[in-house]
Amino acid sequence: MPKSAGRSGASHAMTVNETVIAMIRPEPGLHLVAGEPAEAIAAAQAWADAPDGIGSITSCATEVALPATGTWRNPGVGCAWAGIVLTAPEAGLPLQLVEADDCTEDAPIIAARFGKYMRHFHRKVKDTDGQDKSMWRTRWSAPDPGWGDATHPPVLLVFHEAGKRSAPKQMEKVADLTREHWQGQWAEGGFRICNGKTPIVATTLELLREHGPAGPAFWRFGREVRQNLWDAIGNPRRDAALARRAEDARRRQAQEAAEREAQRSVCGGCGQKFVAGYGRPTDWRASWDSRWRLACWRRGIPVSRAEAR
């Protein structure tokens, strides 16, 4: 629990709490509301019927330092602090950094945090095997990036409209101010290559409560529609384009193999096709090929290439 939240009712700390609950969506104990007013029972039942969340309370850590200098235990001054770190590899989410905002801070202040995030992501340290590795990978497990994948962990911004600012406008301003950190390059196939960038995704606490991680509550900076969390932090267009390329390559290989098969010579003596690249029948006991002539062992006479049909 964020420090002092229970004593002071700090709005930001409580927003962090609400964000954790909306992400993990713990199943309520319906037996605990037995005998309560109908409205309370209906609310509990609605929560129980809502889409599942990700992980559990033990999957989350709050106020985690991301040092650009110093150590994990003693981070340097001015390092980034992740409001929430969610690790749920069992749900296909090895690492998710989350920032909660009450719509009270100016967009440039929020955007400035991502410069600190990137400093940490770029930091290299010696791992236990003596090899240089991204510092964040020495603490959290994550799969190696695939072709064109982002090499940095995704960051989720959750806006709670408790302050005076509009969440949609905050999202647009922060997206514009952080473009250098998330915008990739267009590639052939209609998708972006995001190597060296970090996916930044935004939502509101209300949308997160309504849809959960599996619903269309998340806007990836640079995209036009809301998606579920996995599609938002991923690259569905790249995946689809690479799948099409793989299928096209498979078809080309099959067509080329069929063409080679059709062009293979057949021994006029035994009717066996010759092995591609070797000039002899598939049944080695039937025929043999010298450099310039083909001989059928069954017939006992040489068969020239011109006689092969």
Burial level of 220, CB count in 10 A (0-12/13-18/19+)?
buried
Residue of 207 and 303 predicted with greater confidence: 207
Length of the chain: 309
Which of 48 and 133 is assigned the larger pLDDT?
133
- Write out the chain in H/E/C secondary structure: CCCCHHHHCCHHHHHHHHHHHHHHCCCCCHHHHCCCCHHHHHHHHHHHHCCCCCCCHHHEEEEEEECCCECCCCECCCCEEEEEEEEEHHHCEEEEEEEEECCCCCHHHHHHHHHHHHHHHHCEEECCCCCEEEHHHHCCCCCCCCCCCCCCCCEEEEECCCCCCCHHHHHHHHHHHCHHHHCCEEECCCEEECCCCCCEEEEEHHHHHHHCCCCCCEEECCCCCCECHHHHHCCHHHHHHHHHHHHHHHHHHHHHHHHHHHHCCECCCCCCEEECCCCEECCCCCEEECCCCEEECCCCEEECCCCCC
- Distances 242 to 56, 107, 175, 191, 238 between C-alpha atoms, Å: 34, 36, 27, 10, 6
Tell me which amino acid residue 2 is: P
Q: Tell me what the pLDDT averaged over the chain comes to.
A: 83
* CA distance linking residue 81 with residue 174, whole number of Å: 18
Rounded CA-CA distance 158/22 in Å is 11
**Whole-angstrom distance between the N-terminal and C-terminal Cα of the chain?**
82
For the ranges 43-57, 61-75, 237-251, 288-302, the one whose mean pLDDT is highest: 61-75
pTM here? Answer: 0.76
Q: CA–CA separation, 149 vs 192, rounded Å?
A: 9
179 vs 280, more confident: 179
**10 Å Cβ neighbour count for 28?**
15
Burial class (CB in 10 A: 0-12, 13-18, 19+), 299: middle
- Say if residues 237 and 191 touch (Cβ distance below 8 Å): yes
Tell me the percentage of the chain whose pLDDT exceeds 70: 80
Give phi and psi for 289, each to the nearest 5: -125, 120
Instruction: Give the mean model confidence (pLDDT) for residues 85-90.
Output: 94
Query: pLDDT tens across 232-289, in order?
Result: 998 888 888 888 888 999 999 999 888 877 776 666 666 666 655 444 444 444 444 4
Tell how strand 155-159 and strand 200-204 pair up. parallel
Q: How far apart are CA 236 and CA 309, in angstroms?
A: 51
Looking at residue 195, what is its pLDDT?
83
| Cβ within 8 Å of residue 126, ≥6 positions away | 132, 133
pLDDT for 71 beyond 70: yes
Using N-to-C axis directions, what is the helix angle for 167-177 and 107-122, rounded to 10°? Answer: 40
